[in-house]
Chains A and B, each alone.
Chain A
Amino acid sequence: MNNRTAVLLTFCAFVVFSMTTFAQESSTYNPHETFDPGFLNQSGTIYRSGSGCPGPAYWQNRADYKITAELNEADSTITANETISYRNNSPDALPYLWIQLDQNLSREDSRGTATEPVSGMRPSSRQFTQGFVLKSVKIEQDGRESDAKYMVTDTRMQIMLPSAMRAKGGEIKLEISYSFEILLFGAGRMGRTDTKNGTIYEIAQWYPRMAVCDDVQGWNTLPFLGQGEFYLEYGDFDFSIKVPEDHIVVASGELQNASEVLTSQERKLLDEAAKSDKTVTIRGADAVSPPDKRPQHLGTKTWHFKMTNARDVAWASSRSFIWDAARVKLPSGKRCLAMSAYPVESAGDSSWGRSTEYVKGTIEYNSKQWFEYPYPVAVNVAGFVGGMEYPGIVFCSWRSRGGGLWGVTTHEIGHNWFPMVVGSNEREYPWMDEGFNTFINIYSTRNFNNGEYKSERDSARRFVPMLMRSNIFPIFTYADNMPRNDLSNLAYYKPSIGLVMLREYVLGPDRFDYAFREYIKRWAFKHPQPGDFFRTMNEASGEDLNWFWKSWFMENWKLDQTVKDVKYVDNDPSKGVLITIANNEKMVMPVTVEVKESNGHKGRVNLPVEIWARGGEWTFKYPSTSMVEYVTLDPDHILPDVNSDNDTWTSGVVTRRPARGRGRQ
């Protein structure tokens, strides 16, 4: 081969090599994209202020429900009559209404059924029902009653009103008579569990309810597909449930007719529990009668409950229930009872025997730390449903024990804060309830019983593998659009870790807690949007965190910070060093730099995120006086840097990596 050829070949090889390596090492960071002036830049409206507060003309419609229902064990059905009193506080007349018919998910022709992924090659053994069987739908408007003109499409019903509901206070009553079959396992959120002493009925999504009409989308009519949860109006509930007379019923809200349905002994024990921090058994295993000891002909009892200012009610009924309770100490001193209902199979202190203690602990901590629990009762029910929340009542797995039972209980009870009090749209923004709840669970767990169940799982580093996936969805994805396998990471863990980083690394606990409490207070019993949360946190903490919201919540960006260069001033190690750091990927974070010198001195510099505002590189002087052994970023390994190899610069003199330390408190 001649010289010219060799040169040419070398040149070609170089071109190819540099193209490929260039592709790998070139920075994608664009400060204009990360510190995007257009993000969250829209003016507030009169309904939602620029500050993240509800605006001066903020409105919300209201739905009160009166339901009488009967549980029929023989055919596993519920038959009911409900009256919905709906009030239109919006500034628009409403010519039609939308209602949610969630039981229709269980139909064979439902959209949820059609979008259920096939699992394996075996034929399906799924059961279906008819969903809600509507016997009659009537309207009472302006004093006149008429049959409703309606159209049902999957889990949504549209009622075309004879005349539009008046804006700013128009009222209407809907009277619906219906029934439905209780599936064994209804979309993981309600169902029946057969236990040795009787079937447990965990009942939810059990009445047609109003869809939300808001100032952001008008009517919110996304179908119930199974993965995305709920978005509901607030109001008062008054409901009566007729069950076999040997059943115990626990429900959202407060029992109104204890004297009719409880024995005097049970009432006495409940009063005792209301004054006791230790769990009091109201109905023990000994009172639960096995099937062969039951009377032949059972009558019925009707249990009457009320709940004010809630967005939903659920209940559970069984003859198999053990029932215990204890008082919850709320900051205001208001009366509150923690209760548990579970079958004998789940009894015992290594299992559900401690459930009430867990409910009480969660509510007391969250009430002190964030916002006082607003309801008079909180019940934990054991059954098939692994973990599902409703205002004032939660369903957790009857097989849960120990740390697992603590974890699921504190999570489901935690949901009373998000979304039961702070009423976000779970179907569109699952992270606003799951993520925020998982976040507060971290602290309720750290603080329960001297950290009995504390875990070290709250580390952002766990997310590095997920963040590396180029096609990962961002947190800001509707619930039903998240791939099933990514749901827990995207809706639960990533947002909660984001808030941990914000609290413990970016803002500090005092500023964070103040802002977070402010958010909860502003939006309690209302319908916040993501922008309301971002704006409130920005404003109440006094920090423009848009770079953070965008990086962590809105996009699937990665963090890769690196030490690029270390140069002695005037080439003299006694004169200090100029350290150049770089931000290679699109996410930014404030930087903690640790410098170790050969004279043994170790120091840290904290640089604010603003160093990245104009470019992806930053140089600063560190006043070292001897040779530098290493310079390392994120010395406590808090951040989810996807390429930790380039976090450290060493002089080559010392090769050991710095030891892991505790995070900034």
Chain B
Amino acid sequence: MLKTEELQINIGPQHPSTHGVFRMLVTVDGETVTDLKPVFGYLHRNHEQIAEVNTYLQNMPYTDRLDYFNAMANNQAYAMAVEKMVGIEVPERAEYLRVLMVELTRILNHAGALGFLINDMGAWQTQLAFGMREREKILDLFESVSGARLMCNYFRFGGVARDLPPDFMPRLKDLLVAMPAFVDEMERLLRENEILLQRSEGIGILPKDLALAYSVTGPVLRGSGVAYDIRRAEPYSIYDRLDFDIPVGSVGDVYDRILVRIEEMRQSRRIIEQVIAQLPDAQGGHINPKARQNVRPPVGDVYARVETPKGELGFYLVSDGSSKPYRYKVRAPSFINLTPLGDMCRGYKVADMVVILGSIDIVMGEVDR
């Protein structure tokens, strides 16, 4: 009988598959993970305190840097929180433009996330390159509308910074025409890939009740079979007039999370098509002309949340009546979705751990804040 003992190893912070500077303190018994503690804070910059010394509008570009894949969605959550606090009305057209940008963000996030996930499984680059190719096309659109590819800073209180450029719609329509082929191709690459099936089916199972107790949101929660999507559960913006389905998984493993993301890309495309159809009839301009950007909200607190591609992003703001927030708290989806990582990895192999982490889809800018 060989003498065996448990071994504690660090995976990260400098590790290619930890999606940033993220460390996992893993206890292994041979190849099997018996315990895992996520360790982070390497990118911590006390975002929330920086926000307390800025005016409300100055924080808008800072929200881009939370989840730098989804700058538009972060902008939306923050703009909604301030608008709710001050009582700014958003014109219909601006709401359509916002939804358009956020749903494009969802597509590019999932395309990237799936690509990175396959990369983590060892199927080097092909899938990632496909995802990145689509992402680039959407980033080009973002650049034409906001002037920046990643840090868009496009939203303002009461609307968006500027209206669409003239060539935006033709380019968007071209993109949408090419979109189904891309999603189908991606799904085929995933579903018919023996490596992927072996590595993802039955791995990292998060049961329904546990997913809820762990407060996870987004594709991780829906992959576990809870049809909870804030766009439906507490409709904001114009989502109550748009028709879309909420994909849910059945088992709660890595494979289900992949399928949920693929289907969400299709649903986002559906939403964008409805937005394009309804946009010409929408009332108002791209911004409420009466909305002041230099806001001084009344004393009070407010919480506003949106469904970003990663889950529930909420902003809790407390105002003391001045032009700067008294308290600015970010409820970051990536951060909370990491909580069950230890439970999801327990009992699986070290190589599975990397895949499970990839299936949560974290961005460290948001986790560490």
Is chain B found bound to chain A in the same assembly?
Answer: no
Q: B interface vs A, CB < 8 Å?
A: none
- Residues of A whose CB lies within 8 Å of any CB of B are none
